[in-house]
Structure 1
Amino acid sequence: MKPKNNKPLLVGALLCAIAALLHVGCIVFGGDWYRFFGAGEAMASMAEQGLWYPSIVTAVIVGILLIWSLYGLSGAGVIKRLPLTKLALVIISSIFLLRGVSFVGLMPLFPYKESENSLTFWVISSGICLFIGSLFAIGTYQQWSRWVSDKQ
């Protein structure tokens, strides 16, 4: 009997993949996309000037989101079990949830300037992180009992 797929982890993995694609869009389409998604005027201007920094930072984020997506799929049982899946899912859940709830403390590290990291950006991005983190946390919790019963 095939194990039931874990819907929260599947949706979390899908949202990570979509977020990765949107970040690729920033690299491909440049300054306007950086502005639209709230990266701030500095990143948008650097991208328009052809500087490498925005693309490298964004590519690292793309890579991380794709790896997290793969771990979500692995935890859900859609793809082969990846190394340290349980630990990775706990860490991924924690990072998303921590980012979601700590935005008030993070805001001073990224001072608001005209057209940069507005309160709207912080609220929306934090809400998205809380949602995805909750999916990963719920999915990991649900999957944990399956992993324990598989060992018996």
Structure 2
Amino acid sequence: MLYVLAGLADLILALLHVLVIVVGGDAYIFLRAGKVMAAADVAGDIWPALLTLAIATVFLIWSLICFWAAFKDRFGKMVRVLVGLIGAVFVLRGSALFFQFFGLTLFSDGESPVFRDFAFSSLALVIGALHLYAAYRNQRLRR
């Protein structure tokens, strides 16, 4: 069940990134991708959409790995390690919360963090913890 929840979280993130591509410049600004990226999107450049699609693809692959772990026992240890690594990436992303809290970060436009930055980092920590706990719990159950 934990793997399914982790996979759903990854899938939602993938779909949100696809939605950002559809919405365009305003979504890039809201998600703190930067004014340069938003302006390039508004100007009709394709690179912001390609970059965002690449990120969405990574989240989709992570989702598939979690669903694989939930429903297939084949390659069990390798899949658990992959889910653990995915969790570690999320935790690393979420660790920006510490730097944001103490005002040690600036974003690509030189702006200080706002509330949603704290929310995004906190969410990354929660999703990372979910992945790590799923991999840890599954490893303990298989002994």
TM-score by length of 1: 0.78
Answer yes or no: is 1:47 the counterpart of 2:45: no
Gapped regions of structure 2 (runs ≥ 5): none
Say which SS state the counterpart of residue 44 (structure 2) adopts.
Answer: coil
Q: How big is the shift at 1:8? A: 2.3
> Which of 130, 135, 141 pairs up with 2:130?
135
> Which of 113, 116, 122 pairs up with 1:118?
113
TM-score by length of 2: 0.83
Aligned to 1:24: 18
Relative distance call for 1:30 and 1:109 in structure 2 (3 A) is: closer
Contact 1:38 1:121 in 2 (8 A): no
Contact 2:32 2:107 in 1 (8 A): no
Answer yes or no: is 1:59 the counterpart of 2:57: no
Aligned to 2:105: 107
Q: Percent identity?
A: 30
Let me know the Cα RMSD of the aligned residues: 2.3
Gapped regions of structure 1 (runs ≥ 5): 1-6
Relative distance call for 1:82 and 1:44 in structure 2 (3 A) is: farther
Task: Count residues in correspondence.
Answer: 138
